[in-house]
């Protein structure tokens, strides 16, 4: 079955806006023209794509099935058009990538700077988040590269084996935290403190649990779970919380005297980080340029 990209764009826009009128406005077409496009698409698939209601249009079961495929086709077409235009000198290519906080704080900015020095016409779009957010963005074609700690490959997402490096994580606390005055401080002394870390099901949460288990300790009581790096840092720096962070994430806070590593003998977390891509499809040229720079950086990372 061959799909018409304009019809797919009409379909996706109705889904995102929730109504025929708003979709027509967004696409700068008349409602009758938009209705005809959807009707032709429904004739092609052989079933209604929407259930029409007084409050708007909602996807039918067939529409739900078509939507992810329509999104994929539209994004692939956009990437192809963008790369061809860039080759012709008509437009700039776009690097779309995502990273966990520690990489977004150190390795990625350095890599992006290196890429833009070589190819100043490129644009860069970056999202930051934990692995589940990055994996979802890869599958939705929001990004083309994801930078995170090593996790098993799946049917859809694979790691890039020649682009990996290691970072170190520690317990962090404000410089005036009461635990800093305790003689012979151990990890067990942190169990009753207020903690804030990313939520259950994320790699940082698992990293904390593994670290405490390795010392024969239960998991501390987590007072605040959040995916927001800004919130984590604020709670540590100004509200007396403990947290667990890769050292690259708090370089600025360390230099500014806001918070730093809490010295605990033998408490250090090592993890391997790598780049991921979709298993199928071509890696867009702008993303390949970033990957090349990351390989150069990580090959010399101690």
Among 33-37, 242-246, 278-282, the minimum mean pLDDT is found in 278-282
Give me the residue spans of the domains in the chain: 5-87, 94-165+272-298, 167-269
94-165+272-298 under CATH 3.40.50.1220, yes or no: no
Structure tokens at 76: 């692939």
Structure tokens at 121: 């016409």
Q: What pLDDT sits at residue 140?
A: 87
CA pair distance 91, 99, nearest whole angstrom: 26
- Side-chain half-sphere CA neighbours of 3 within 13 A: 21
Q: Which residues are 124's β-sheet partners?
A: 95
Residue range 121-162, pLDDT digits in tens: 888 999 998 888 899 999 988 999 999 988 899 999 999 988
DSSP class of 300: S
pLDDT value at 300 more than 70:
no
Q: How far is CA 105 from the centre of its chain?
A: 13
Average pLDDT over residues 221-231: 92
Q: Which residues, 6 or more positions from 253, have their beta carbon under 8 angstroms from its beta carbon?
A: 233, 236, 237, 259, 260
Structure tokens at 208: 């904390």
Q: Which fold has domain 167-269?
A: D-Maltodextrin-Binding Protein; domain 2 (3.40.190)
pTM of the model: 0.65
What's the CATH architecture for 5-87?
Orthogonal Bundle (1.10)
Q: Which residues are 50's β-sheet partners?
A: 59
Higher-confidence residue: 278 or 282? 278
Residue range 149-204, pLDDT digits in tens: 888 999 999 999 889 888 899 999 999 999 999 999 999 999 999 999 999 888 88
Q: What pLDDT sits at residue 302?
A: 43
5-87 shares its CATH topology with 167-269:
no
pLDDT value at 271 more than 80:
yes
- Contact, 48 vs 62, CB < 8 A? yes
């Amino acid at each position: 079955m061959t799909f018409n990209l304009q019809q797919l764009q009409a379909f996706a826009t109705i889904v995102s806006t929730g109504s025929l009128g708003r979709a027509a406005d967004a696409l700068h077409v008349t409602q009758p023209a938009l209705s005809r496009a959807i009707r032709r698409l429904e004739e092609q698939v052989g079933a209604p794509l929407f259930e029409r209601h007084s409050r708007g249009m909602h996807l039918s079961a067939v529409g739900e099935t078509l939507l992810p495929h329509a999104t994929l086709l539209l994004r692939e077409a956009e990437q192809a058009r963008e790369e061809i235009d860039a080759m012709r000198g008509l437009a700039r290519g776009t690097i779309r990538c995502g990273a966990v906080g520690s990489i977004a704080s150190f390795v990625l900015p350095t890599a992006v700077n290196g890429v833009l020095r070589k190819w100043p016409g490129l644009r860069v779009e970056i999202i930051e988040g934990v692995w589940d957010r990055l994996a979802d963005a890869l599958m939705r074609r929001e990004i083309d590269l994801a930078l995170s700690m090593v996790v098993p490959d799946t049917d859809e997402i694979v790691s890039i084996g020649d682009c990996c490096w290691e970072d170190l994580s520690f317990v962090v606390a404000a410089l005036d935290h009461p635990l800093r005055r305790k003689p012979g401080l151990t990890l067990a002394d942190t169990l009753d403190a207020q903690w804030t870390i990313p939520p259950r099901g994320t790699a940082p949460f698992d990293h904390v649990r593994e670290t405490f288990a390795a010392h024969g300790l239960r998991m501390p009581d987590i007072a605040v779970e959040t995916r927001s790096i800004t919130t984590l840092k604020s709670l540590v720096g100004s509200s007396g919380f403990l947290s667990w962070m890769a050292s690259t994430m708090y370089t600025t806070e360390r230099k500014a005297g806001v918070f730093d590593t809490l010295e605990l003998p033998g408490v250090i977390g090592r993890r391997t980080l790598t780049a991921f891509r979709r298993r199928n499809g071509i890696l867009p040229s702008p993303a390949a340029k970033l990957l090349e720079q990351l390989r150069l950086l990580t090959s010399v990372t101690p």
